[in-house]
Amino acid sequence: MMIAGSGAGLMLSPPETTPGAVVQSCARLMEDEKHIDTAAALAREMALLPPPSAVVERLTDL
């Protein structure tokens, strides 16, 4: 839900999840500049986050 809400992805409800709808959604994601740009921005943001191992260290120090 959050990925679709951010504009970086799409969400299909279970009744909509047909092979054809999945193919169409994938094509839309790969062709739509808005989705591409938003996904790239999200990837850059995630790259700045600490690795899971660093988070575990912090949690065990609590």
Write down the residue that tokens 């994938």 correspond to.
26
Rg (CA), the chain: 16
Predicted confidence at residue 1, as pLDDT, reads: 79
pLDDT at 54: 86
Biggest CA-to-CA distance, the chain: 49
Q: What is the pLDDT of residue 5?
A: 92
pLDDT of residue 60: 84
Locate tokens 């790969």: which residue?
30
Segments of the chain with pLDDT less than 70: none
Q: What's residue 40's pLDDT?
A: 96
pLDDT score of 61: 79
Task: For residues 35 and 18, give the distance between their C-alpha atoms in angstroms, rounded to a whole number.
Answer: 21
pLDDT given for residue 25 in this prediction: 96
